[in-house]
Amino acid sequence: MSGAIVVATDAGGHEVARAVSSADGSYSIALPPGTYTLTPQALADKMMRAPPAQSITIASGRVNQIIDFTYDTGIR
């Protein structure tokens, strides 16, 4: 899903980075080593609820870590 925003916050709750997903739904955030919370934002214009936030720890020298978020309308 394009246009989804993911916000990265540090342990103190301060925003350190954000990303917007591309047409294929992928996003990328470069973070230095540390522990962060990745919080996807709701997509009000598409009637989509935001998935839950996820904690991530970046180790020194680590290049890739994949965190997928699945948006859902809640309609069944």
* DSSP assignment of 4-54: -EEEEE-TTS-EEEEEE--TTS-------SEEEEEEEPPBGGGTBBPPPPE
Q: Is the pLDDT of residue 44 over 70?
A: no
pTM of the model: 0.83
The mean per-residue pLDDT over the stretch 37-59 comes to: 84
- Return the pLDDT at 46: 65
State the chain's maximal CA–CA distance in angstroms. Answer: 43
Q: 40-56 burial, b if ≥16 CB within 10 A, otherwise e? A: beebeeeebebbeeeee
